[in-house]
Amino acid sequence: MTRARFLRKSFVTQKAAALAVAFCLLGVLPAASANYEDFDDTSVTKRTEQVIAERSKDGAFVFHDPKLNTDLHLVYEKVKIVRGMKGYGWFANAIFHDKAEPKKQYAIDFWYKPEATGDTLKLIDIRVQKGPKKDGDTYTMVTRLPVAWWWLPVQEHPGDTEVRRAWHVMSAVHNYIAANKNKDGVLELKDDKTGETVPLEFVEMHQPVRRLKPDGQYFACTDFRKPGSKEEYYDIDFWVEDKDGKLRVQGVKIHKVPVQEDGIWVQEPRYTFEGMDFEVTN
């Protein structure tokens, strides 16, 4: 493993991974799930199939996988699970297989939120939930880590609803990214050191989320990549405040920038968290 890949590696606890995998396999709905008025499993499935049709070419759904930084050409099979999380949106988990190799299956999450008019569902993001792994002469679907925030509420217990959880913060960050990226899916961020505007493609969000003890702010780390590059990664920190009962992103900082060392792209920190008093948010 190169140093660049090591620095980019994200981790989740074994407990979180095991719970998420069990959740995904069983299709168990979290306690936070609730239907929106005017939408149900049927309408969300219909909207998902509409999105798939709109993004299909030559009989295949074309999706750019940000993790692998490559275009996937997939054949749609079915929508397996539909979940509604009141206030957060609708989530459809659909099964596909690779156009060139039918044994390679994928589970893809489609995230929607109702439009302001309330009569349509707006596509917010698409993420790979499970990908194929070679197993002898066939393939098995393996959950990608770190898991997306919308799979995390399964870890909650009764009575936790008033406590800010990591997935609440991650949702606020993901909403900010979705709302501020341009039509090409690129987030343009001003570099506070150079003053330049840096175009960035969202890859994934790190876990865990942390909370500063003195002022109660949360911060979440994310991976972004320079558009068109396979190795130039940025580590971006999102600072989130809890004000008037709502979580809002109030600051975005470039934590690490890509630099070349001996022909290899590595991430160079702009600052450290030494001396900061924080706690992990579950």
Q: What pLDDT score does 110 carry?
A: 98
pLDDT tens by residue, 106-157: 999 999 999 887 779 999 999 999 999 998 889 999 999 999 999 998 655 5
* Distance (Å, whole) CA 250 – CA 207: 20
In whole angstroms, how far apart are CA 11 and each of 15, 146, 168? Answer: 12, 6, 19
The domain ranges of the chain are 3-152, 164-281
* Distance (Å, whole) CA 51 – CA 111: 11
* Distance (Å, whole) CA 281 – CA 167: 9
* Distance (Å, whole) CA 282 – CA 12: 11
Q: Is the backbone peptide bond immediately before 214 cis, with ω within 30 degrees of 0?
A: no
Q: What is the token pair recorded at 16?
A: 């979180």
Band of pLDDT at residue 244, cut at 50, 70 and 90: confident
What mean pLDDT comes out for the span 171-199?
95
What mean pLDDT comes out for the span 184-206?
95
What mean pLDDT comes out for the span 28-54?
75
Q: Which of 82, 77, 146 is nearest to 111 (CA)?
A: 82
In whole angstroms, how far apart are CA 209 and each of 150, 153, 276? Answer: 14, 14, 14
pLDDT at 204 over 70: yes
More confident residue, 8 or 248: 248
Q: What is the token pair recorded at 150?
A: 């919308």
Band of pLDDT at residue 16, cut at 50, 70 and 90: very low
pTM of the predicted model as reported, rounded to 2 decimal places: 0.83
Q: Find the range with the poorest average confidence among 128-142, 154-168, 222-236.
A: 154-168
Q: What pLDDT score does 142 carry?
A: 97
pLDDT at 268 over 90: yes
Three-state DSSP class for residue 170: helix
What mean pLDDT comes out for the span 196-214?
93
Band of pLDDT at residue 3, cut at 50, 70 and 90: very low
pLDDT at 101 over 90: yes
What mean pLDDT comes out for the span 54-68?
95
Q: Is the backbone peptide bond immediately before 208 cis, with ω within 30 degrees of 0?
A: yes
More confident residue, 46 or 38: 46
What mean pLDDT comes out for the span 6-29?
41
Mean pLDDT of the chain: 85
Q: Identify how many contiguous H helices and E strands the chain contains and give both numbers.
A: 4, 15
* Distance (Å, whole) CA 177 – CA 111: 13
What mean pLDDT comes out for the span 42-58?
97
Residue type, 45: T
Q: What pLDDT score does 9 carry?
A: 43
What mean pLDDT comes out for the span 264-269?
96
